[in-house]
Amino acid sequence: MAAISASMVKELRERTALGMMECKKALTEAGGDIELAIENLRKNSGLKASKKAGRVAAEGAIVIKVADDASYGVMVEINSETDFVARDDNFKAFTNLIADRVFATKNTDIASLMEGELEDTRGQLVQKIGENISVRRAAVVEAPAGGVVGGYVHGGRIAALTLLTGGTGEVAKDVSMHVAAVNPVCARPSDMPQEQMDAEKAIILAQPDMAGKPAEIAEKMSLGRLKKYLAENSLTEQPFVKDPNQTVAEFTKPPVVKWCPSYAWKSVKVSRRKKSTSQLKSGSRSAARNG
């Protein structure tokens, strides 16, 4: 009997989206021949998952879970092919299962997190629902001594976790709500990437009303507009979404509250209003940190 290696099981799982044990069994029955294993799987329920595995899972849901004492919080994103499935109770139960596991283990490595039971559960759900389902990413935010974590999810599609070094979990939750609603570029003006400031300045200097202006006048005008740009796109300077008469910094006025990393994700297609990952830091699709 041919030895079944972990790499063979991994390849078959990637090609079929089936669970580890089912793939190992199929390989054993096929004497280690991956193509024969796939052919045999086509004779049973494996066919559905095999067909669905290559399709893009571009919809889905984000789930957060915060400790009762606000000492840490987790956020996970699970994707499906359609928003219809994202509203399915079986899918929701799976997302909560993943969130609970991340919350209990603080493991954000998806490959190791999904080994064994969770991957088998995912494969069974693919079979039952008929769509490709993938666990995309997970984040854990832990507060330092005296700090708090709060989170907010809007409609299961936009979510944010915020860490403060003081204050309460409710304050952090309200800040997360603001982040989810307004989508700031950075936490504070000093956190704005210099390359982004340079790009904005170039746009300002190229505007029609700058034409013909002496260099020193154009420079002075551009600085004023850059200051306004910073205020509009920095979390601390934005009008607080629950009370526009005060800024977010004024809302978190007690000196004990300082700004630490925030996470903001959006689980939708790139073609929607915002980027597929709405962050506190422009650019990459991974979680953004601002300290």
* CATH number of the CATH domain containing 109: 3.30.479.20
Residue 104 and residue 171 share a domain: yes
Has residue 27 been placed in a domain? yes
pLDDT at 100 over 90: yes
**39-43, 162-166, 218-222, 247-251: which range is least confident on average?**
39-43
Asked if residue 236 lies in contact with residue 247, where contact means CB atoms within 8 angstroms, the answer is yes
Has residue 155 been placed in a domain? yes
Has residue 283 been placed in a domain? no
Residue 175 and residue 63 share a domain: yes
Residue 117 and residue 28 share a domain: no
Has residue 290 been placed in a domain? no
Range of the domain at 12: 6-52
Has residue 246 been placed in a domain? no
pLDDT at 258 over 60: no
Residue 103 and residue 46 share a domain: no
Closest C-alpha to 13, from 29, 269, 41, 30:
41
Q: What percent of the chain is predicted at pLDDT more than 70?
A: 80
Query: How far is the CA of 56 from the CAs of 10, 53, 60, 131, 204, in angstroms?
Result: 19, 8, 11, 9, 39
Residue 100 and residue 29 share a domain: no
Which CATH number covers residue 16?
A: 1.10.8.10
Residue 144 and residue 161 share a domain: yes
The strand ranges marked E within 120-223 are: 134-142, 148-154, 158-164
The pTM (predicted TM-score) of the whole model is 0.68
What is the distance between the alpha carbons of residues 104 and 109, in angstroms, rounded to a whole number?
14
Residue 200 and residue 125 share a domain: no
Number of residues assigned to the chain: 291
Q: Residues 165, 170, 176, 178: what is their CA dihedral angle, to the nearest 10 degrees? A: -120
Asked if residue 20 lies in contact with residue 115, where contact means CB atoms within 8 angstroms, the answer is yes
Encoded tokens for 25: 């069994």
Asked if residue 95 lies in contact with residue 173, where contact means CB atoms within 8 angstroms, the answer is no
Has residue 279 been placed in a domain? no
Residue 40 and residue 79 share a domain: no
pLDDT at 124 over 50: yes
Residue 108 and residue 35 share a domain: no
What is the distance between the alpha carbons of residues 228 and 289, in angstroms, rounded to a whole number?
23
Which CATH number covers residue 207?
A: 1.10.286
Residue 39 and residue 85 share a domain: no
Residue 132 and residue 223 share a domain: no
Has residue 236 been placed in a domain? no
Q: How many domains does the chain have?
A: 3
Encoded tokens for 265: 């994700």
Final residue belonging to a domain, choices 18, 35, 52: 52
Phi, psi of 59, deg, nearest 5: -110, -165
Asked if residue 12 lies in contact with residue 27, where contact means CB atoms within 8 angstroms, the answer is yes
Residue 113 and residue 198 share a domain: no
**45-59, 112-126, 208-222, 268-282: which range is least confident on average?**
268-282
Q: Which residue has the higher pLDDT, 145 or 256?
A: 145
